[in-house]
Amino acid sequence: MKGLFVKGSWEGYIGAILVFNIRVFSEERAQFEGQKNVLSFGVGGTIGGSYHFTERWALELGFDYGYVPTDPVVTHEFDLALGGVYHF
């Protein structure tokens, strides 16, 4: 799958994502929350790019934002990731 923005060895992307979290609380926090585990879902977006060294290997940098509404609060999550990619 190719990204929308390709220039030589560089490839950029933007997209929408679905976010989910499983939170596991310690004993004291579980008593406060009233449950030991909480599963929550949300939506978000991502933007990033990759540099292809070869046809198969690349280095990718991405920034993600997630909006995960929970009962008492709304959680905003940010993630910055750098990693190696191997294309099959």
Q: What is the pLDDT of residues 2-18, one digit of tens each?
A: 556 788 889 898 999 99
Q: What is the pLDDT of residues 21-60, one digit of tens each?
A: 787 888 887 788 778 887 888 899 999 999 999 989 999 9
Count of C-beta atoms within a 10 Å radius of residue 76: 11
DSSP 30: H
